[in-house]
């Protein structure tokens, strides 16, 4: 309901290509998307045939019928399907007939180190990020995989995660059970508050990897990810197929786990003064002397060298440094990547929360209250025909309340701040919801 009213999934009928050419033919649009996504991949010059034959991952357990049933039971009851056109609801409804043969096929695939070629083909949906909706570069690819491939990936994920969970860096908070954006931000704010308690300054370097998920080197990760193909789908049109030479599929179950395995070594090397959420990595240090700033630069150099060795590109223009301090005079040290000085900022949005240099969250509170009021207006305008109080409560809790309460343990407003005029009065919520019921 919300997506249909917002039109969030609509791609404009006229798009602007990479070379600023206007495209109004759907067939040309899908191939323009395909060309852009294909050019995002990193080029790997290594010959997979020359890899040592021992460079394979062996699972310590076999996939059982019960494993398959557990995963199939969690599939959505929708018509979503991959290249094989077998919808997820059909796999779920037929799980008891399919579980035994699928378990056998999965185990044969693992034991023989052969992944079915058809399952390596993905249909890609362009998903808008930000900026101008008509510009192709403002979209990212989300892969729609075969449901059988997703079941296999989920089974392998459960086993692989069980083997690797004790080895993951405690600094990684992305895609791991019990770790969230909020746990990342909580650890970060606690470090800053401890520094403020000792009247110290904290310098933080925020890094940005260019298309990190698309540039993971398959040779360095695992050679079983070679020979993947995908095409872009738009308005019942399909682009030409193109080879996926790097990256982990965005939209897969196993992809995020493989990515954090790939990045685990650098987070472990950086020590406690680094936090990651998938490819969002920030490094920081308490700054009292020049030596502390040099130590932070040393850690940044470690990250830069690791990114070069692992063929991930740091986007220097989007990397930045911010100094947190409540002292009258802030020490401003220069930090560089490849002899390029990082830009300084006094405010930054980190994992959905706006931080300023004093760790004062008034700007964040003002922003989320403004956004929540807009969402209330959206509910008011689009739910006049809804007479169910439960439906209205669901809309409010899903759209407005989640916006107001996200990461509240991090920005922890004091009593007076909660009830400032910028926040949403409870009576206004009641009035709007009553009015929408007509």
Q: How many CA atoms lie within 13 A of 326 on its CB side?
A: 11
Please report which confidence band the pLDDT of residue 51 belongs to, taking 50, 70 and 90 as the band edges.
very low
pLDDT tens readout for residues 97-116: 999 999 999 999 888 878 88
The Cα 62–Cα 79 span in angstroms is: 30
Contact by Cβ (8 Å): 16, 134: yes
- List beta partners, residue 86: none
Contact by Cβ (8 Å): 274, 282: yes
Please report which confidence band the pLDDT of residue 144 belongs to, taking 50, 70 and 90 as the band edges.
confident
Q: Which position has the higher pLDDT, 375 or 181?
A: 181
| pTM for this entry | 0.76
347-355 contacts at long range (C-beta below 8 A, 24 or more positions apart)? 348/206, 348/320, 348/322, 350/185, 350/188, 350/206, 350/282, 351/181, 351/184, 351/185, 351/277, 351/280, 351/407, 352/181, 352/406, 352/407, 353/185, 353/406, 353/407, 353/410, 353/411, 355/322, 355/324
Please report which confidence band the pLDDT of residue 170 belongs to, taking 50, 70 and 90 as the band edges.
very high
Lowest-confidence range among 102-106, 135-139, 195-199, 224-228?
224-228
Q: How many CB atoms lie within 10 A of CB 327?
A: 11
Please report which confidence band the pLDDT of residue 223 belongs to, taking 50, 70 and 90 as the band edges.
very low
The Cα 82–Cα 231 span in angstroms is: 11
pLDDT number for residue 395: 86
pLDDT tens readout for residues 315-337: 999 999 999 999 988 999 999 99
The Cα 39–Cα 36 span in angstroms is: 5
Q: Indicate whether 429 pLDDT > 60.
A: no
> What average pLDDT does the segment 54-75 reach?
79
Q: What is the mean pLDDT of the chain?
A: 83
Tokens for 401? 């309340």
Contact by Cβ (8 Å): 148, 102: yes
231, exposed or middle or buried, with CB in 10 Å at 0-12, 13-18, 19+? buried
**297 φ, ψ (degrees, to nearest 5):** -65, -35
pLDDT number for residue 414: 60
> What average pLDDT does the segment 285-296 reach?
96
How far is the CA of 216 from the CAs of 129, 171, 273, in angstroms?
Answer: 20, 20, 24
pLDDT number for residue 423: 54
């Amino acid at each position: 309901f919300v997506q249909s009213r917002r039109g969030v999934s609509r791609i404009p009928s006229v798009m602007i290509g990479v070379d600023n050419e206007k495209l109004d033919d759907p067939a040309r649009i899908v191939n323009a998307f395909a060309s852009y996504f294909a050019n995002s991949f990193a080029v790997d010059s290594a010959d997979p045939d020359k890899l040592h034959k021992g460079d394979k991952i062996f699972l310590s357990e076999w996939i059982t019928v019960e494993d398959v049933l557990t995963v199939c039971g969690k599939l959505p009851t929708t018509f979503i399907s991959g290249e094989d056109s077998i919808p997820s609801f059909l796999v779920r409804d037929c799980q008891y007939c399919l579980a035994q043969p699928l378990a056998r096929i999965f185990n044969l695939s693992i034991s023989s180190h052969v992944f079915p070629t058809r399952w390596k083909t993905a249909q890609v949906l362009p998903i808008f990020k930000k900026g101008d909706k008509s510009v192709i570069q403002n979209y990212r690819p989300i892969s729609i995989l075969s449901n059988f491939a997703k079941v296999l990936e989920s089974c392998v994920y459960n086993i692989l995660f069980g083997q690797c969970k004790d080895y993951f860096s405690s600094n990684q908070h992305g895609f791991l059970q019990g770790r969230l954006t909020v746990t990342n931000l909580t650890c970060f704010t606690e470090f800053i508050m401890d520094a403020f308690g000792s009247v110290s300054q904290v310098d933080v370097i925020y890094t940005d990897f260019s298309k990190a998920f698309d540039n993971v080197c398959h040779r360095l990760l695992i050679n079983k990810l070679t020979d993947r193909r995908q095409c872009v789908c738009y308005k019942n049109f399909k682009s030409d197929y193109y080879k996926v030479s790097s990256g982990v599929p965005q939209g897969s179950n196993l992809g995020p786990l493989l990515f954090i395995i790939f990045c685990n070594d650098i987070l472990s090397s950086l020590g406690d003064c680094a936090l990651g959420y998938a490819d969002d990595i920030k490094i920081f240090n308490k700054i009292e002397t020049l030596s502390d700033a040099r130590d932070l630069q040393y850690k940044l150099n470690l990250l830069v060298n690791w990114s070069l060795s692992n063929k991930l590109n740091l986007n220097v223009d989007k990397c930045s440094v911010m100094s947190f301090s409540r002292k009258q005079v802030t020490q401003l040290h220069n930090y560089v990547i490849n002899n390029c000085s990082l830009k300084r900022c006094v405010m930054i949005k980190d994992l959905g929360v706006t931080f300023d240099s004093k760790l004062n969250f008034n700007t964040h509170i003002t922003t989320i209250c403004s956004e929540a009021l807009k969402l209330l207006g959206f509910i008011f305008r689009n739910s006049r025909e809804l007479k169910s109080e439960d439906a209205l409560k669901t809309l409010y809790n899903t759209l407005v309340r989640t916006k107001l309460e996200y990461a509240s343990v991090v920005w922890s407003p004091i009593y007076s701040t909660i009830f400032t005029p910028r926040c949403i009065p409870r009576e206004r919520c009641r009035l709007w919801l009553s009015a929408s019921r007509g």
